[in-house]
């Protein structure tokens, strides 16, 4: 699967834009605040319906405008198809594939698989549990529609349940609602927990060899799932924490409190260290890079095709060893890279198929 072209209107700082991409390596370069990341964001939105930054549609639409459009032409197995997105300030977005409207945004997921890599991703391990959950969720939602639906239902339920808990003092009659909500929380929550469990097992198979290579065989990296509660115990624990939840006015048990640990060993016989707490900055960043590189392999395996790789200003964050490793991994994957200068590519004798200069909401092709 590749992206052949992208068209934008009234999207962030682009009034009108059309870019034709190469199926190989595409570089977008330009000064700060010119609109490089905005292009990657547009591609991410057309793949996942959501912004990689978690921005709302009304923030993405150009200042002073009411709506924005994104059109991507994709190519798969020699056939082309067109994805149109219509973002509106106060309504949900409209999506059409080849002119046919689709009913649910989730029907789009999985058609175009992208891996987005930004400098902040190098802090996944250093940051808090919510960042790590966000990473796992973003990945799983692209791969598994049942997970996507369960997660969005589960998250909505937690918000609703918390609201009931907050208002319970004034509306004690609402306590019956909690019983209904708890039943549904268990239904969707256990899907989330079981899917995360399976995903982490698969991730370990892939991340280990990658991390070994990245560290010159010096480190063994393992990822462990730390569920707040097991799928089997969810119902029981939710019931047991009811009083505590009423007191705290929030849901204190469930997969929205999960975390993932990253353990590094020097060899198989040695105890590992939890690098969230004890890792050096370099160890944390390298493990984060291994995690992102695994994402590419996971998509390849699950979808039997290459994802499109979006690298947002990330190469300048890596030393030359890590850069080379990343660039070698890219191989024949379609890649769209942003950077402020071109030196790093020249230094790496890097093959550039298409070069674009981004200046204040305009993009010009330089080859």
Ligand X SMILES: Nc1ncnc2c1ncn2[C@@H]1O[C@H](COP(=O)(O)OP(=O)(O)OP(=O)(O)O)[C@@H](O)[C@H]1O
State yes or no: 155 annotated in a binding site: no
End-to-end CA distance of the chain: 23
Nearer to ligand X, 75 or 120 (CB): 120
Per-residue x/- marks for ligand X, 291-330, CB under 6 A? Answer: ----------------------x-----------------
State yes or no: 30 annotated in a binding site: yes
Nearer to ligand X, 25 or 38 (CB): 38
Nearest by Cα to 182 from 129, 229, 116:
229
Q: Are strands 362-365 and 354-359 parallel, antiparallel or unpaired?
A: antiparallel
Q: Three-state DSSP class for 280?
A: coil
State yes or no: 64 annotated in a binding site: no
Minimum CB separation of residue 37 from Mg ion in Å reads 3
Residue 256 interacting with ligand X (CB under 6 A): no
Residue 25 interacting with Mg ion (CB under 5 A): no
- For residue 253, which phi and psi values (nearest 5 degrees)? -125, 140
Q: What is the largest CA-CA distance in the chain?
A: 70
Residue 340 interacting with ligand X (CB under 6 A): yes
- Where b means 16+ CB within 10 Å and e means fewer, 204-235 reads eebbbebbeebbeeebbbbbebebbbebeebb
State yes or no: 38 annotated in a binding site: no
Residue 62 interacting with ligand X (CB under 6 A): yes
How many residues comprise the chain? 367
In the region spanning residues 12 to 41, those forming contacts with ligand X, defined by CB under 6 A, are: 12-13, 30, 32-38
> Which of the 8 DSSP states describes residue 299?
H
Residue 118 interacting with ligand X (CB under 6 A): no
Interface size with Mg ion, residues (CB under 5 A): 2
Selection from Mg ion, ligand X, none that 38 binds (CB < 5 to 8 A by kind) is: ligand X
Q: Three-state DSSP class for 6?
A: strand
> Which of the 8 DSSP states describes residue 211?
H
In the region spanning residues 26 to 45, those forming contacts with Mg ion, defined by CB under 5 A, are: 36-37
- For residue 47, which phi and psi values (nearest 5 degrees)? -90, -40
Q: What is the DSSP string of 343-361?
A: HHHHHTT---SEEEEEETT
In the region spanning residues 177 to 236, those forming contacts with ligand X, defined by CB under 6 A, are: none
For residues 186 and 254, what is the distance between their CA atoms, to the nearest angstrom? 9
Nearer to ligand X, 56 or 244 (CB): 56
* Binding window for ligand X (CB under 6 A); candidates: 55-63, 73-81, 147-155, 237-245: 55-63
Nearer to Mg ion, 33 or 201 (CB): 33
State yes or no: 281 annotated in a binding site: no
Positions that interact with Mg ion (CB under 5 A) = 36-37
Binding site residue list for ATP: 30-37
Binding site for ligand X (CB under 6 A): 12-13, 30, 32-38, 59, 62-63, 313, 340, 358
């Amino acid at each position: 699967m590749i992206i052949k072209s992208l068209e934008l209107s009234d999207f962030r700082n682009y009034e009108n834009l059309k870019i034709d991409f190469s199926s190989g390596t595409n570089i977008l370069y330009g000064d700060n605040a010119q609109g490089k990341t905005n292009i990657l964001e547009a591609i991410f939105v057309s793949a996942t319906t959501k912004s990689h930054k978690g921005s709302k549609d009304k923030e993405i639409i150009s200042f002073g405008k009411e709506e924005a459009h994104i059109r991507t032409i994709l190519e798969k197995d020699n056939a082309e198809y067109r994805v149109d997105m219509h973002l509106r300030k106060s309504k949900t977005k409209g999506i059409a594939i080849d002119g046919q409207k689709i009913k649910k945004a989730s029907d789009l997921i999985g058609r175009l698989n992208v891996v987005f890599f930004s400098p902040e991703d190098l802090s996944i391990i250093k940051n808090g549990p919510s960042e790590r959950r966000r990473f796992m969720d973003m990945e799983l939602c692209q791969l598994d529609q049942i997970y996507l639906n369960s997660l969005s239902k589960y998250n909505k339920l937690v918000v609703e349940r918390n609201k009931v808990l907050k208002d319970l003092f004034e509306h004690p009659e609402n306590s019956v609602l909690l019983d209904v909500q708890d039943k549904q929380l268990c239904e969707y929550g256990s899907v989330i927990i079981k899917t995360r469990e399976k995903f982490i097992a698969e991730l370990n198979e892939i991340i280990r060899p990658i991390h070994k290579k990245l560290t010159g065989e010096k480190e063994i990296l393992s990822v462990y799932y730390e569920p707040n509660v097991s799928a089997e115990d969810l119902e029981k624990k939710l019931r047991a924490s009811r009083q505590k939840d009423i007191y705290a006015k929030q849901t204190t048990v469930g997969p929205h409190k999960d975390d993932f640990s990253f353990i590094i060993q020097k060899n198989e016989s040695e105890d590992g260290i939890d690098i969230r707490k004890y890792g050096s900055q370099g160890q944390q960043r390298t493990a984060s890079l291994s995690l992102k590189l695994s994402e590419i392999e996971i998509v390849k395996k699950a979808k039997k095709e290459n994802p499109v790789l979006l690298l947002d200003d990330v190469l300048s964050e890596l030393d030359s060893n890590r850069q080379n490793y990343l660039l070698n991994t890219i191989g024949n994957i379609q890649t769209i890279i942003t950077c402020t200068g071109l030196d790093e590519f020249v230094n790496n004798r890097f093959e550039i198929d298409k070069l674009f200069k981004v200046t204040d909401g305009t993009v010009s092709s330089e080859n």
